[in-house]
Amino acid sequence: MLWASQQKPSVTQLWQESWTAGPYGSRWMPLTSALGYSTFISAKKILSDSGLFIFKPDKSIQDGRETASWMVKNLHGSRMKEFWRKLIPKISNQMLKNKNQILKNENQMLGIQR
């Protein structure tokens, strides 16, 4: 995704890890991340605020010890039709604006005024 590639490397990495964990969306999936704790928390906040993923801690007890991990839910996976229904008109409008701006710039360079 273009947006993710324009973020800090830690955000891009967590986006990739989160997407890998659950590319389809619609359910909670276990997340494995190579990021350190504070870097993970910072990147998680950016991805959560963007509306692309949501995260929740998952605590379990194994061999009498509490283990903490993270779960992720992909809000823009291929099964999340509502996300894409909302996004397509936004993309179409932005593409139209970009096209109009390009035409305006070309006309100005050629000395054509409308």
Q: Quote the CA–CA distance of 96 and 1 in Å, as a whole number.
A: 20
Query: Under DSSP, is residue 89 helix (H, G, I), strand (E, B) or coil?
Result: helix
7-24: average pLDDT = 90
Query: pLDDT tens across 93-105, in order?
Result: 566 666 667 767 6
Residue 1: pLDDT band by 50, 70, 90 thresholds? low
- Residue 10 pLDDT > 80: yes
Q: Quote the CA–CA distance of 56 and 36 in Å, as a whole number.
A: 17
Please report the pLDDT score of residue 113 as a whole number: 57
Contact in structure between 15 and 3 (CB atoms under 8 Å) = no
Query: pLDDT tens across 39-90, in order?
Result: 999 999 999 998 888 899 998 888 888 888 899 988 876 555 565 566 556 5
Write down the residue that tokens 């005024």 correspond to.
113
Higher pLDDT, residue 17 or 107: 17
- Alpha helices (H) in the chain, listed in sequence order: 2-5, 9-21, 37-50, 81-110
Q: Quote the CA–CA distance of 69 and 53 in Å, as a whole number.
A: 16
Strand partners, 67: 60
